Amino acid sequence: MKKVIVGISGGVDSAVAAYLLKEQGYDVEGLFMRNWDATLNNDYLGNPTLNENICPQEQDYNDAKVACEILGIVLHRVDFIKEYWDYVFTYFLEELKKGRTPNPDMLCNKFIKFDLFKKEALKLGADYIATGHYAKIENGSLLKAKDSNKDQTYFLADVPKKQLQNVLFPLGDYTKIEVRIIAQNIGLNVAKKKDSTGICFIGERHYQEFIKNYLKPNPGDIVDVETKKVIGKHTGLMNYTIGQRRNVGLSGDEKRHYVCGKDVFKNILYVAFGDSKYLYSDASLLDNINLYDELPKKLTAKFRYRGEEVPIEVVSVTDKEIKISYPTLAKSVTPGQACVFYDNDRCLGCGFIKEVYKDNKKLWYIS
Protein backbone atom coordinates (compact mmCIF):
# COMPACT_ATOMS: atom_id res chain seq x y z
CA MET A 1 0.00 0.00 0.00
CA LYS A 2 1.44 3.37 -1.04
CA LYS A 3 1.78 5.97 1.71
CA VAL A 4 0.64 9.56 1.22
CA ILE A 5 1.41 12.43 3.58
CA VAL A 6 -1.26 15.11 3.18
CA GLY A 7 -0.68 18.73 4.13
CA ILE A 8 -3.53 19.27 6.60
CA SER A 9 -4.20 22.96 7.19
CA GLY A 10 -7.28 22.85 9.38
CA GLY A 11 -9.55 23.77 6.48
CA VAL A 12 -12.11 21.81 4.51
CA ASP A 13 -10.08 21.34 1.30
CA SER A 14 -7.13 19.49 2.81
CA ALA A 15 -9.38 17.35 5.00
CA VAL A 16 -11.49 16.24 2.03
CA ALA A 17 -8.30 15.61 0.03
CA ALA A 18 -7.17 13.21 2.77
CA TYR A 19 -10.58 11.51 2.79
CA LEU A 20 -10.57 10.99 -0.99
CA LEU A 21 -7.09 9.45 -0.91
CA LYS A 22 -8.06 7.12 1.91
CA GLU A 23 -11.11 6.03 -0.09
CA GLN A 24 -8.79 5.30 -3.02
CA GLY A 25 -6.86 2.82 -0.88
CA TYR A 26 -3.79 4.83 0.10
CA ASP A 27 -2.17 4.68 3.52
CA VAL A 28 -2.86 8.29 4.54
CA GLU A 29 -1.31 10.42 7.27
CA GLY A 30 -1.55 14.17 7.83
CA LEU A 31 1.13 16.77 8.47
CA PHE A 32 0.29 20.21 9.87
CA MET A 33 2.72 23.05 9.11
CA ARG A 34 3.15 26.04 11.42
CA ASN A 35 4.76 28.74 9.30
CA TRP A 36 4.14 31.95 11.23
CA ASP A 37 4.41 32.99 14.88
CA ALA A 38 1.35 35.15 15.58
CA THR A 39 2.82 36.31 18.90
CA LEU A 40 5.25 38.47 16.89
CA ASN A 41 2.41 40.97 16.51
CA ASN A 42 1.88 41.75 20.18
CA ASP A 43 -0.21 44.81 19.42
CA TYR A 44 -2.98 42.48 18.23
CA LEU A 45 -2.86 40.02 21.10
CA GLY A 46 -5.30 40.30 23.97
CA ASN A 47 -7.87 42.20 21.91
CA PRO A 48 -10.97 39.98 21.69
CA THR A 49 -12.27 41.88 18.67
CA LEU A 50 -9.14 40.96 16.69
CA ASN A 51 -8.38 37.44 17.87
CA GLU A 52 -10.07 35.84 14.86
CA ASN A 53 -7.89 37.87 12.52
CA ILE A 54 -4.50 36.69 13.86
CA CYS A 55 -3.59 33.87 11.49
CA PRO A 56 -4.82 31.51 14.27
CA GLN A 57 -2.55 28.49 13.83
CA GLU A 58 -3.55 26.93 17.13
CA GLN A 59 -7.23 26.97 16.23
CA ASP A 60 -6.35 25.60 12.80
CA TYR A 61 -4.25 22.89 14.44
CA ASN A 62 -7.10 21.95 16.76
CA ASP A 63 -9.48 21.79 13.80
CA ALA A 64 -6.95 19.65 11.93
CA LYS A 65 -6.63 17.24 14.88
CA VAL A 66 -10.39 16.79 15.10
CA ALA A 67 -10.69 16.31 11.33
CA CYS A 68 -7.97 13.64 11.37
CA GLU A 69 -9.65 11.88 14.31
CA ILE A 70 -12.89 11.78 12.31
CA LEU A 71 -11.00 10.43 9.30
CA GLY A 72 -9.10 7.93 11.43
CA ILE A 73 -5.63 9.08 10.35
CA VAL A 74 -2.50 10.13 12.23
CA LEU A 75 -1.63 13.83 12.31
CA HIS A 76 1.99 14.99 12.60
CA ARG A 77 3.13 18.57 13.18
CA VAL A 78 6.17 20.53 12.05
CA ASP A 79 7.35 24.13 12.53
CA PHE A 80 8.83 26.02 9.58
CA ILE A 81 8.71 29.45 11.23
CA LYS A 82 12.38 30.30 10.74
CA GLU A 83 12.43 28.98 7.18
CA TYR A 84 9.26 30.90 6.29
CA TRP A 85 10.81 34.09 7.65
CA ASP A 86 14.06 33.53 5.74
CA TYR A 87 12.64 32.41 2.39
CA VAL A 88 9.26 34.15 2.20
CA PHE A 89 8.73 37.03 4.61
CA THR A 90 12.15 38.65 4.16
CA TYR A 91 11.64 38.62 0.38
CA PHE A 92 8.17 40.11 0.89
CA LEU A 93 9.59 43.07 2.82
CA GLU A 94 12.48 43.65 0.39
CA GLU A 95 10.10 43.76 -2.57
CA LEU A 96 7.87 46.28 -0.80
CA LYS A 97 10.90 48.52 -0.19
CA LYS A 98 11.53 48.51 -3.96
CA GLY A 99 7.98 49.66 -4.67
CA ARG A 100 6.99 46.28 -6.09
CA THR A 101 3.99 44.08 -5.21
CA PRO A 102 5.25 40.65 -4.09
CA ASN A 103 3.34 37.37 -4.07
CA PRO A 104 4.37 35.50 -0.89
CA ASP A 105 1.92 32.64 -1.51
CA MET A 106 3.91 31.57 -4.56
CA LEU A 107 7.16 31.57 -2.59
CA CYS A 108 5.51 29.58 0.19
CA ASN A 109 4.53 26.90 -2.31
CA LYS A 110 8.01 26.85 -3.85
CA PHE A 111 10.16 26.86 -0.72
CA ILE A 112 7.91 25.49 2.01
CA LYS A 113 4.98 23.34 0.86
CA PHE A 114 6.66 21.56 -2.05
CA ASP A 115 10.22 21.54 -0.74
CA LEU A 116 10.65 21.50 3.05
CA PHE A 117 7.28 19.84 3.58
CA LYS A 118 8.14 17.20 1.00
CA LYS A 119 11.46 16.47 2.71
CA GLU A 120 9.68 16.11 6.05
CA ALA A 121 7.15 13.76 4.46
CA LEU A 122 9.95 11.58 3.10
CA LYS A 123 11.23 11.19 6.67
CA LEU A 124 7.80 9.82 7.53
CA GLY A 125 8.07 7.22 4.77
CA ALA A 126 5.94 8.95 2.14
CA ASP A 127 5.68 7.64 -1.40
CA TYR A 128 3.65 10.73 -2.31
CA ILE A 129 2.63 14.05 -0.83
CA ALA A 130 -0.75 15.66 -1.38
CA THR A 131 -2.40 19.02 -0.72
CA GLY A 132 -5.87 20.53 -1.03
CA HIS A 133 -4.92 22.69 -4.01
CA TYR A 134 -7.38 22.88 -6.89
CA ALA A 135 -5.17 21.71 -9.76
CA LYS A 136 -4.24 18.54 -11.67
CA ILE A 137 -1.08 16.74 -12.68
CA GLU A 138 -1.41 14.46 -15.69
CA ASN A 139 1.49 12.86 -17.56
CA GLY A 140 3.88 15.24 -15.85
CA SER A 141 1.92 18.37 -16.85
CA LEU A 142 0.32 20.87 -14.48
CA LEU A 143 -3.29 21.39 -15.56
CA LYS A 144 -6.15 23.64 -14.50
CA ALA A 145 -8.74 22.28 -12.09
CA LYS A 146 -12.32 21.45 -12.98
CA ASP A 147 -13.52 24.40 -10.87
CA SER A 148 -12.30 27.40 -12.86
CA ASN A 149 -13.26 29.76 -10.05
CA LYS A 150 -11.02 27.93 -7.56
CA ASP A 151 -8.20 26.86 -9.91
CA GLN A 152 -4.86 27.45 -8.16
CA THR A 153 -2.35 26.72 -10.91
CA TYR A 154 -1.44 30.42 -10.81
CA PHE A 155 0.01 29.97 -7.30
CA LEU A 156 1.77 26.72 -8.25
CA ALA A 157 3.47 27.97 -11.41
CA ASP A 158 6.75 28.86 -9.69
CA VAL A 159 7.23 25.39 -8.18
CA PRO A 160 10.05 23.65 -10.14
CA LYS A 161 8.93 20.67 -12.18
CA LYS A 162 11.09 18.28 -10.16
CA GLN A 163 9.29 19.31 -6.96
CA LEU A 164 5.92 18.42 -8.51
CA GLN A 165 6.97 14.80 -8.94
CA ASN A 166 5.14 12.34 -6.67
CA VAL A 167 2.58 15.02 -5.82
CA LEU A 168 -1.17 14.35 -5.78
CA PHE A 169 -3.95 16.92 -6.08
CA PRO A 170 -7.12 14.98 -5.19
CA LEU A 171 -9.44 17.99 -5.64
CA GLY A 172 -8.55 18.64 -9.27
CA ASP A 173 -11.75 17.04 -10.56
CA TYR A 174 -14.07 18.52 -7.93
CA THR A 175 -15.78 21.87 -7.50
CA LYS A 176 -15.74 23.68 -4.19
CA ILE A 177 -19.46 23.01 -3.79
CA GLU A 178 -18.85 19.30 -4.25
CA VAL A 179 -16.04 19.38 -1.69
CA ARG A 180 -18.34 21.04 0.86
CA ILE A 181 -21.03 18.42 0.22
CA ILE A 182 -18.55 15.57 0.74
CA ALA A 183 -17.38 17.16 3.99
CA GLN A 184 -20.94 17.47 5.27
CA ASN A 185 -21.86 13.93 4.24
CA ILE A 186 -18.96 12.41 6.20
CA GLY A 187 -19.49 14.67 9.20
CA LEU A 188 -16.27 16.67 9.05
CA ASN A 189 -15.97 19.38 11.69
CA VAL A 190 -14.63 21.80 9.09
CA ALA A 191 -17.43 21.28 6.55
CA LYS A 192 -18.74 24.82 6.99
CA LYS A 193 -15.49 26.49 8.06
CA LYS A 194 -14.88 29.79 6.29
CA ASP A 195 -12.07 29.77 3.70
CA SER A 196 -8.98 31.72 4.68
CA THR A 197 -8.44 34.90 2.68
CA GLY A 198 -5.57 37.28 2.14
CA ILE A 199 -1.92 36.69 2.88
CA CYS A 200 -1.44 34.04 5.57
CA PHE A 201 0.63 36.13 7.98
CA ILE A 202 -1.70 39.13 7.65
CA GLY A 203 -5.04 37.34 7.41
CA GLU A 204 -7.93 39.80 7.36
CA ARG A 205 -6.30 42.42 9.54
CA HIS A 206 -5.70 45.99 8.39
CA TYR A 207 -2.80 45.67 5.97
CA GLN A 208 -1.21 49.05 6.68
CA GLU A 209 -1.30 48.53 10.45
CA PHE A 210 0.43 45.17 10.05
CA ILE A 211 3.17 46.51 7.75
CA LYS A 212 4.01 49.29 10.22
CA ASN A 213 5.40 46.58 12.52
CA TYR A 214 8.18 45.91 10.00
CA LEU A 215 8.62 48.92 7.69
CA LYS A 216 8.75 52.51 8.90
CA PRO A 217 5.98 54.62 7.33
CA ASN A 218 7.26 57.25 4.90
CA PRO A 219 4.37 59.57 3.92
CA GLY A 220 4.50 61.58 0.72
CA ASP A 221 2.48 63.29 -2.00
CA ILE A 222 -0.26 61.78 -4.13
CA VAL A 223 -0.05 63.36 -7.58
CA ASP A 224 -2.60 63.30 -10.40
CA VAL A 225 -0.54 62.04 -13.35
CA GLU A 226 -2.40 64.18 -15.89
CA THR A 227 -2.75 67.51 -14.04
CA LYS A 228 0.53 67.08 -12.10
CA LYS A 229 -1.29 68.51 -9.06
CA VAL A 230 -0.85 67.20 -5.52
CA ILE A 231 -4.29 65.91 -4.50
CA GLY A 232 -3.51 64.10 -1.27
CA LYS A 233 -0.97 62.40 0.98
CA HIS A 234 -0.02 58.72 0.98
CA THR A 235 1.07 56.76 4.06
CA GLY A 236 4.03 55.01 2.42
CA LEU A 237 4.46 53.55 -1.08
CA MET A 238 4.59 49.99 0.29
CA ASN A 239 0.89 50.30 1.13
CA TYR A 240 -0.29 50.61 -2.47
CA THR A 241 -0.35 48.58 -5.66
CA ILE A 242 -0.98 49.41 -9.32
CA GLY A 243 -4.70 49.50 -10.11
CA GLN A 244 -5.75 50.09 -6.50
CA ARG A 245 -8.70 52.39 -5.89
CA ARG A 246 -9.95 51.63 -2.39
CA ASN A 247 -8.15 52.84 0.73
CA VAL A 248 -5.94 55.25 -1.21
CA GLY A 249 -6.88 58.09 1.15
CA LEU A 250 -8.63 60.40 -1.30
CA SER A 251 -12.05 61.99 -0.85
CA GLY A 252 -14.83 63.47 -2.96
CA ASP A 253 -14.46 63.16 -6.74
CA GLU A 254 -10.82 62.24 -6.21
CA LYS A 255 -11.97 58.84 -4.91
CA ARG A 256 -12.41 57.91 -8.58
CA HIS A 257 -8.65 57.89 -9.04
CA TYR A 258 -6.68 54.66 -9.42
CA VAL A 259 -3.05 54.10 -8.45
CA CYS A 260 -1.06 54.02 -11.71
CA GLY A 261 2.53 54.53 -10.63
CA LYS A 262 5.20 55.08 -8.00
CA ASP A 263 8.38 57.10 -7.91
CA VAL A 264 10.38 55.41 -5.18
CA PHE A 265 13.18 58.01 -5.19
CA LYS A 266 10.89 61.05 -4.98
CA ASN A 267 8.39 59.18 -2.77
CA ILE A 268 5.45 60.11 -5.00
CA LEU A 269 2.33 58.04 -5.55
CA TYR A 270 0.81 58.72 -8.98
CA VAL A 271 -2.90 58.28 -9.60
CA ALA A 272 -5.07 58.55 -12.70
CA PHE A 273 -8.72 59.48 -12.99
CA GLY A 274 -11.06 56.63 -13.92
CA ASP A 275 -10.18 53.98 -16.49
CA SER A 276 -7.15 55.91 -17.69
CA LYS A 277 -4.71 55.06 -20.47
CA TYR A 278 -2.01 55.21 -17.80
CA LEU A 279 -3.26 51.89 -16.39
CA TYR A 280 -2.59 49.97 -19.62
CA SER A 281 0.54 48.40 -21.13
CA ASP A 282 1.36 46.31 -24.21
CA ALA A 283 4.60 44.51 -23.24
CA SER A 284 6.54 43.25 -20.23
CA LEU A 285 9.99 41.98 -19.33
CA LEU A 286 9.99 38.99 -16.98
CA ASP A 287 12.73 37.52 -14.82
CA ASN A 288 13.07 34.66 -12.27
CA ILE A 289 11.73 32.28 -14.90
CA ASN A 290 10.32 28.82 -14.16
CA LEU A 291 9.18 26.86 -17.23
CA TYR A 292 7.72 23.37 -17.52
CA ASP A 293 7.87 23.25 -21.31
CA GLU A 294 9.12 25.35 -24.20
CA LEU A 295 6.79 28.27 -24.84
CA PRO A 296 4.94 28.47 -28.15
CA LYS A 297 5.12 31.86 -29.84
CA LYS A 298 1.45 32.52 -29.12
CA LEU A 299 -0.27 31.58 -25.85
CA THR A 300 -2.18 33.22 -23.00
CA ALA A 301 -1.09 34.59 -19.65
CA LYS A 302 -2.52 35.80 -16.35
CA PHE A 303 -0.89 38.77 -14.62
CA ARG A 304 -2.69 38.23 -11.32
CA TYR A 305 -4.69 35.42 -9.74
CA ARG A 306 -8.15 36.88 -10.36
CA GLY A 307 -7.18 38.51 -13.64
CA GLU A 308 -8.38 37.44 -17.05
CA GLU A 309 -6.16 35.44 -19.38
CA VAL A 310 -4.65 37.70 -22.02
CA PRO A 311 -3.39 36.55 -25.46
CA ILE A 312 0.35 37.18 -25.61
CA GLU A 313 3.27 36.67 -27.97
CA VAL A 314 6.79 35.71 -26.93
CA VAL A 315 9.19 38.37 -28.25
CA SER A 316 12.47 37.01 -26.89
CA VAL A 317 13.74 34.33 -24.52
CA THR A 318 17.04 34.02 -22.65
CA ASP A 319 18.08 31.88 -19.70
CA LYS A 320 17.22 34.69 -17.32
CA GLU A 321 14.56 36.83 -18.99
CA ILE A 322 11.55 36.63 -21.30
CA LYS A 323 9.98 39.57 -23.10
CA ILE A 324 6.33 39.30 -24.07
CA SER A 325 3.87 41.53 -25.90
CA TYR A 326 0.09 41.75 -25.76
CA PRO A 327 -1.24 44.05 -28.51
CA THR A 328 -4.77 43.99 -27.10
CA LEU A 329 -3.37 45.78 -23.99
CA ALA A 330 -3.57 44.64 -20.37
CA LYS A 331 -4.65 46.64 -17.34
CA SER A 332 -2.66 47.15 -14.14
CA VAL A 333 0.27 44.89 -14.96
CA THR A 334 2.29 45.18 -11.77
CA PRO A 335 6.04 44.77 -11.15
CA GLY A 336 6.69 42.01 -8.62
CA GLN A 337 3.64 39.98 -9.55
CA ALA A 338 3.80 36.74 -11.54
CA CYS A 339 2.96 36.34 -15.20
CA VAL A 340 1.71 32.76 -15.52
CA PHE A 341 1.68 31.09 -18.95
CA TYR A 342 -1.09 28.86 -20.29
CA ASP A 343 -1.66 26.75 -23.38
CA ASN A 344 -5.38 26.08 -23.04
CA ASP A 345 -5.67 24.12 -19.74
CA ARG A 346 -1.96 23.41 -19.44
CA CYS A 347 0.14 25.65 -17.21
CA LEU A 348 3.58 26.21 -18.74
CA GLY A 349 5.22 28.01 -15.83
CA CYS A 350 5.81 31.66 -15.04
CA GLY A 351 8.10 34.66 -14.83
CA PHE A 352 7.97 37.66 -12.51
CA ILE A 353 7.21 41.09 -13.90
CA LYS A 354 10.38 43.20 -13.91
CA GLU A 355 9.54 46.01 -16.32
CA VAL A 356 6.39 47.14 -18.12
CA TYR A 357 6.18 48.92 -21.49
CA LYS A 358 3.80 50.76 -23.75
CA ASP A 359 4.54 51.88 -27.31
CA ASN A 360 8.12 50.62 -26.95
CA LYS A 361 8.73 52.88 -23.97
CA LYS A 362 9.41 51.67 -20.45
CA LEU A 363 6.67 52.87 -18.16
CA TRP A 364 7.95 55.19 -15.52
CA TYR A 365 5.77 54.18 -12.64
CA ILE A 366 8.42 52.17 -10.80
CA SER A 367 11.76 53.95 -10.42
Query: Long-range contacts of range 291-297, CB-CB < 8 Å, 24 or more positions apart?
Result: 291/341, 291/348, 291/349, 292/141, 292/142, 292/161, 292/347, 292/348, 292/349, 293/141, 293/346, 293/348, 293/349, 295/322, 295/341, 295/348, 296/343
- Same domain flag for 54 and 155: yes
- Same domain flag for 14 and 131: yes
> Above 80 in pLDDT, residue 57?
no
Question: Model confidence over 278-304: pLDDT tens digits?
Answer: 999 999 999 999 999 999 999 999 999
Q: Which domain holds residue 261?
A: 216-273
Query: Which active-site residues does the annotation give?
Result: 108, 200
**Domain-embedded: residue 125:** yes
Q: Which residues contact 51 (CB under 8 A, 6 or more apart)?
A: none
CATH number at residue 35: 3.40.50.620
> Above 50 in pLDDT, residue 309?
yes
The whole-number average pLDDT for the span 184-212 is: 82
* pLDDT confidence bin for 275, thresholds 50/70/90: confident
DSSP string of 110-175?
IIIIIIIHHHHHHHTT-SEEE---S-EEETTEEE--S-TTT--HHHHTTS-GGGGTTEE-TTTT--
Mapped onto helix, strand or coil, the DSSP state of residue 39 is helix
- Same domain flag for 83 and 17: yes
Average pLDDT, the chain: 91
**Domain-embedded: residue 192:** no
The whole-number average pLDDT for the span 83-98 is: 94
Indicate the residue among 273, 296, 322 that finishes a domain: 273
- Same domain flag for 28 and 119: yes
**Domain-embedded: residue 37:** yes
pTM over 0.85: yes
Residue 39, pLDDT score: 66
- Same domain flag for 249 and 283: no
- Same domain flag for 268 and 321: no
